[in-house]
Structure 1
Amino acid sequence: MEEGLKPDESPLLGDRHCHEQPPPGTASTLQTIGNIIVSIVGTGILGLPFALRVAGWLAGSFAIIVAGISTYYCMILLVQCRDKMATEEPTTETRTYGDLGQKALGKTGRYLTESLILVSQCGGAVAYLLFIGQNLSSVFKFNGFTTSTFIFMLVPIEIALSWIGSLSALAPFSIFADVCNLLAMAIVVKEDVQKVFGGEFKFSDRQAISPGPGGLPFALGMAVFCFEGFGMTLALEQSMKERGKFRGVLANAVAGIASLYIVFGFFGYMAYGDATRDIITLNLTQNWSNIAVQIGMCMGLVFTFPIMVHPINEIVEGKLRNARWFQKTDNDDDDHRGGYLARWIGRSGMYLFRAVLIAALAFLASFVPGFGAFSSIVGSSVCACISFVLPALFHLRLLGPSLPRWRKVLDCFIMQLKKGVEKQAVMECFGGSYDPNCAENRPKKKKKIFDLPDCELGFCCLGFCLVVQMAGLSFPHLENVRHHLLNLFSNVSNVAFSSCSVIQLSHFRT
């Protein structure tokens, strides 16, 4: 427990404050680029062709570009906030995202930030299980096992692996999973190029922009999920030997990753068209080389799954260690029967928690309809909060008085836009995202007010929210009026989006 903090004031992720300056970074420019790529690129890239199928190749590529630019901008916001804190409190180093949240919003900001990171880790773990289950059910489909069956088969293995004390023993498997991921991408690109240049399709058959309103938000949610890596931003910047070059290095890395995403998604969609699956490896020809890569990728992810859930274990177990009763029993004499029993109960409780956590994640994964839809929902909700809303909010809180008006408006726009994108992405997922043309046939209930559809009314209200925010920046003495207007327009937009969601869901069920 941190010195000077009460037990109930300890942060979720344990000791985060450091009153000494950290040692200087040692990473070169090339090493930092590699670290950024490893921190961002993951299995989500294999779902991008499906995102382009839902949104259209042009709209999907645009979504990837927007996500890349927004990711770079908001990562720089975090660095600017940390630099601001360094000038005001030179003896205290802000090292983590949670530290920044506490500086901006107090203890509530730390808990909010780290709770969102916790939820995003759970979402990533569920995506891992879905990815493994769907690939194994595709390879061994002759057995008749479903995706849920394979997911529950993994539970005993993952529980046993989660009880390993040192994660360093699993590091080789993480490298193995990355190698298999690269091999899978190479095989997909090879087959895509063969199909594209083999004359097996017509370019005119591939839609550029989906006619449905939810295609672009769906692709944007998937792209945000693929770019998620904000928890490592400050650590990556601090690891550099020459920190002044971080912005240029980050820009080059994000541009390269975005280009890779666009090329991979484009060729995948061009090759398979409307038959594109939510995980592109499911479209591969079932020969021995492709099957070997799929199985190898799944094996690597099975052994790296404990690394994904380790931050969750660290959060809960850290809180347990900071509890008064745990510290009391931990300091008791070993010969004391009560102290020994209490410590045994504590250790058993931690093992039990890890087992229950994995079982709960597997149970949740068994109800998720598919990797693509789930990734888009996680990306447009939790990941968007971590990636865009919190950096913009922290930037306004910490640097607001010194910012030009256009920067304030841009930060407000980022925070307001997330709400509309999230609503539309969720509607697309539940309204039949597996058929990119289904949006054409969805009923559009008209509002008598302004004669606008629900979705358009919701976006209009979001626009009014932005206007009110801008007016509030110009007339600070109207703060109360601004607050009431924001509540009004936000509530109307929520009702409009909810009404549209009900229509989508009822149409989907029928």
Structure 2
Amino acid sequence: MQASQDSFQAEPGWYVSAQQPEEEAAAAEEWSPLLSNEPHSQGSPGVSFGLSVFNVMNAIMGSGILGLAYVMANTGILGFSFLLLLVALLASYSVHLLLSMCIQTAVTSYEDLGLFAFGLPGKVVVAGTIIIQNIGAMSSYLLIIKTELPAAISEFLPGDHSGSWYLDGQTLLLIICVGIVFPLSLLPKIGFLGYTSSLSFFFMVFFALVVVIKKWSIPCPVTLKCIDGVFQISNATDDCKPKLFHFSKESIYALPTMAFSFLCHTSILPIYCELQSPSKKRMQNVTNTAIALSFLLYFVSALFGYLTFYDKVESELLQGYSKYLPHDVVVMAVKLCILFAVLLTVPLIHFPARKALMMILFSNFPFSWIRHSLTTLALNIIIVLLAIYVPDIRNVFGIVGASTSTCLIFVFPGLFYLKLSREDFLSWKKLGALFLLITGTLVGSFSLALIIFDWVNNK
């Protein structure tokens, strides 16, 4: 045991023996499984490659898919394509750095990686960032429910039911959170919620297919005019030529929304721990496949959503279909699918947020149902208040994407790698980590400043 400890301490910052040749160290980094304090149970083969890809995609795909058509409208098709591809590649590379560090340090959570790099302050900062990120994601999901569920219900009801309590978004939101979200979030283990989340991928595929098909159901131009209190399609407006490049004050939401849409880094280590025949290379292939498929779904839905509405596209894409195709059966079906997927995703995102909060406040205390319940209740109250009082989903994408998403995808992986790695500073990995750090810092700070400036001017 003493020899083992000496070997670990030979190279501070890395759990690799100082006497190990560089070729063997590289091979160990490439193939060694993550050392986990919670190994697979006896006889458990782990999760297959395909299911792991599916799990990572579930971690990636979310409400961001509804905001990317709006981003394309404010960046142009080629501008959007370049930025989306850049963010996807950087997200994949940052996972590569995370896996390299986590294999060598034998940690099993993002928070512990912050602890290993910068001690307790690093752990607290990472945990706080995860809390803010997940609160933002959950509030964006509840904002979709508040906005879209009343419209979805009204389309199924004959006659005029305006003013009814069951068509009030805030009332429905409170009922759903009290009756569904809070009870599911109270569960101490994530368990069976993983099975329910498997439906969300198919709902996203269905959504993308509907966006493609409905491109030919809405004529262009697509302006609305109000006649006797009813919105109707008017054919007297601007042209419908797609823009290849476009810049406006709304373009500042582009990179934050994309960063928000590709964040899966807090789920990578738990998925890796359960991977069948785990290795860095195998997990990297899982991540690359999931990011590539997510990129495809994002791009297709954004492109055809933009080509449907052009500069009239809403910041939340479903709102456009609610206006122009209010009683279309397929659109009604896809609304329900998206709302169902969103509803089941909220408790899943709640778990890492609560874990991070408990880690900050009660890390030295044994499990208590009272603390567990009060923490869950506090988080649910916060996300409900945000969903009620935030007027536009792009505000969530912008602020959360510019701050916490860029930190978790770009800044922290680059910073931690520069701190922990014993490689030469001019090595490709360290230069790549430095590029991630600088890019994330500049993009996040610049975007956040412009978004706040835009808010102040609008007020």
**Cα separation, 2, equivalents of 1:349 and 1:377:** 29
Quick one: which of 117, 127, 138 aligns to 2:151? 138
- Residue 107 of structure 1 pairs with residue 120 of structure 2: yes
Quick one: which of 377, 383, 393 aligns to 1:371? 393
Quick one: which of 74, 77, 92 aligns to 1:72? 92
Rg larger for = 1
**Cα separation, 1, equivalents of 2:116 and 2:53:** 28
The aligned residue for residue 390 of structure 1 is 412
The aligned residue for residue 231 of structure 1 is 266
**Cα separation, 2, equivalents of 1:371 and 1:28:** 35
Quick one: which of 299, 305, 311 aligns to 1:268? 305
Assess if the C-alpha contact under 8 Å between 1:193 and 1:267 holds in 2: no
Assess if the C-alpha contact under 8 Å between 1:50 and 1:372 holds in 2: no
Shift of the alpha carbon at 1:76?
0.5
Assess if the C-alpha contact under 8 Å between 1:196 and 1:270 holds in 2: no
- Residue 185 of structure 1 pairs with residue 208 of structure 2: yes
1:67-466 aligned at under 5 Å gives the runs 67-85=87-105, 93-140=106-153, 143-144=162-163, 147-157=169-179, 158-164=181-187, 167-168=190-191, 170-171=193-194, 173-192=196-215, 205-212=241-248, 215=251, 217-238=252-273, 239-241=275-277, 243=279, 244-284=281-321, 285-286=325-326, 287-317=328-358, 323=364, 347-348=369-370, 350-399=372-421, 401-404=423-426, 407-426=429-448, 429=451
Assess if the C-alpha contact under 8 Å between 1:120 and 1:382 holds in 2: yes
Shift of the alpha carbon at 1:397?
0.8
Comparing 156-165 and 44-53, the one that deviates more = 156-165
Assess if the C-alpha contact under 8 Å between 2:53 and 2:287 holds in 1: yes
Shift of the alpha carbon at 1:228?
0.6
Shift of the alpha carbon at 1:219?
1.5
Q: Deviations over 1:119-161 (max 9, x none)?
A: 2111111111111111124335653556444433434223344
Instruction: Report the identity percentage.
Output: 21
Shift of the alpha carbon at 1:66?
0.8
Unaligned ranges ≥5, structure 1: 1-15, 86-92, 331-345, 431-500
**Cα separation, 2, equivalents of 1:18 and 1:218:** 38
Paired amino acid for 1:45:
I
Shift of the alpha carbon at 1:371?
1.5
Partner SS for 1:418: helix
Assess if the C-alpha contact under 8 Å between 1:95 and 1:234 holds in 2: yes
Paired amino acid for 2:264:
G
Shift of the alpha carbon at 1:385?
0.2
Assess if the C-alpha contact under 8 Å between 1:51 and 1:372 holds in 2: no
| RMSD of equivalent CA atoms | 3.5
The aligned residue for residue 338 of structure 1 is none
**Cα separation, 1, equivalents of 2:102 and 2:217:** 48
Paired amino acid for 1:143:
S
**Cα separation, 2, equivalents of 1:315 and 1:98:** 8
**Cα separation, 1, equivalents of 2:387 and 2:54:** 31
Partner SS for 1:387: helix
Shift of the alpha carbon at 1:162?
3.5
Shift of the alpha carbon at 1:187?
1.6
Shift of the alpha carbon at 1:412?
2.9
**Cα separation, 2, equivalents of 1:148 and 1:20:** 41
**Cα separation, 2, equivalents of 1:136 and 1:198:** 27
Comparing 96-105 and 244-253, the one that deviates more = 244-253
Q: Deviations over 1:7-54 (max 9, x none)?
A: xxxxxxxxx995687789744443333333233222321221111112
Partner SS for 1:404: coil
**Cα separation, 2, equivalents of 1:33 and 1:140:** 34
Shift of the alpha carbon at 1:242?
5.8
Assess if the C-alpha contact under 8 Å between 1:183 and 1:293 holds in 2: yes
**Cα separation, 1, equivalents of 2:350 and 2:248:** 36
The aligned residue for residue 23 of structure 2 is none
Assess if the C-alpha contact under 8 Å between 1:174 and 1:304 holds in 2: yes
Assess if the C-alpha contact under 8 Å between 2:399 and 2:448 holds in 1: yes
Which structure is higher in helix share? 1
Higher relative contact order (CA 8 A, sep 6+): 2
**Cα separation, 1, equivalents of 2:403 and 2:215:** 31
Paired amino acid for 1:268:
G
Q: Deviations over 1:300-323 (max 9, x none)?
A: 433442222123333445677655
Quick one: which of 36, 49, 52 aligns to 1:32? 52
Sort the Cα spacing of 1:203 and 1:410 in 2 relative to 1 into closer, same or farther, 3 A.
Answer: farther
**Cα separation, 2, equivalents of 1:231 and 1:380:** 17
Assess if the C-alpha contact under 8 Å between 1:60 and 1:220 holds in 2: no
Sort the Cα spacing of 1:106 and 1:173 in 2 relative to 1 into closer, same or farther, 3 A.
Answer: same
Shift of the alpha carbon at 1:61?
1.6
**Cα separation, 1, equivalents of 2:408 and 2:344:** 27
Assess if the C-alpha contact under 8 Å between 2:221 and 2:239 holds in 1: no
Shift of the alpha carbon at 1:393?
0.5
**Cα separation, 2, equivalents of 1:253 and 1:214:** 29
